[in-house]
Structure 1
Amino acid sequence: MHPLLRGKRMIAFDLDGTLIDSVPDLAVAVGRALNDQGLATPSVDKVRDWVGNGAAILVERALTWAQGEAPDAGLFDRAYAAFLDHYAAAPNALTTLYPGVSQALNALSQAGFMLVLITNKPKRFIQPILDHFGLQTYFMLCLGGDSLAEKKPAPLPLLHAASVCGVVPAECMMVGDSRHDIAAGKAAGFATLALPYGYNHGEPIANSAPDGVVNVLTELLTPVPHATRALDHDS
């Protein structure tokens, strides 16, 4: 397998932008929540740039865009509650699985890696999405943005997962699509692996200096030729 997996026992995965493209459904829910408040509907591309810090920040960014200033507490509370209701009604209508995800998760699980899911999405939405795509059996632990006192980019969720799995950070890797995933991984002492196709506020993920980048998750299942030669030479 990929050289970054050497010595690793636990792999933590982000969800939105890493395993699934959820922006189309998030955009519908955001648009309906704003419409409920008499505000305009943002484009899917705008919503894509707002995703990554959890549902509350997503709604706050949308409201700020729609009215040109930060929302007051009353407006935010109404819009946030509406967003949660709209998203809960159809979290999988337009969401798709990225290529190679099922194959990679199955192979990694069969190879004996402990897989965990660490997302900033509210926990209530995780299980319906995993069930819809048949991914629920792969993860021994799932943490949402509201599962603990802190969420990514704080290292707490990653360190908590490592503790639950009985491993040390040096035996772990964080896989994600955004700077928040990479920052959390580095702060926790995990190896970090990035995917370039997700949501990173319009910035190249390479700017976050992950330990590695793969274009699709199935690249984890094959060694990198030049890296393999170097390792062989060193041995």
Structure 2
Amino acid sequence: MTGVDDLNFGADGLIPVVTQDARTGAVLMQAYADRAAIERTLSTREATYWSRSRAEQWVKGATSGHTQHVVDVQLDCDGDSVLYRVEQTGSACHTGEYSCFHRPLLDTDPPAAGLDGTLERVYGTIAERLATLPENSYVARLHAGGIDRVLKKISEEAGEVLLAAKNADREELATEAADLMFHLLFALAEVGVSPGDVAAVLQGREGRTGLKGPKEAG
């Protein structure tokens, strides 16, 4: 079993910590921790770091309320870097941004055709807005209505999908299916289920000759 003794702290007694949103996979921030901060994180599951500027230990969100509940801690192959996987409340960056990494140095490539990666990006945007609840955001308004409002929207959109499919209206079916997927992703984000969790279930149902239906799985 890997333990704190396996960490290779620098000459200053610190080790870099990369913090990742466990729901979306987004990298939130990078900081440092000393041995005591790592030990406190492991025992309390509150993300704890060492401030080099203040020369003191600090718990993320202790003053801002933007806390990080740690669900997993991983050590890299060389033992000189640590990964915190967290459930973020509010924004991770002191600027109010969801992630500290919000200043691109490269133009992003256009999204690939098809759904590959699209659902993850939409889910990430939903999760970010659930964390920050920006004013006038549809996500914030829907969240304020509670989970029952989200479930009602899923039911409504599913009915629209059925109607469009029944009428063989391709354009309308694509539009209504997109609306249904958005609200389904919203429900997943509210409950803390990621697209990766859903993918794992589907992958478990894949057989050699094709995808098994729910009743055939297992």
Task: Provide the TM-score with structure 2 as the length reference.
Answer: 0.32
Larger relative strand fraction: 2
Larger relative helix fraction: 1
Give the structure, 1 or 2, with the largest relative contact order (CA under 8 Å, sep 6 or more). 1
Task: Provide the TM-score with structure 1 as the length reference.
Answer: 0.30
The structure with the largest alpha-carbon Rg is 2
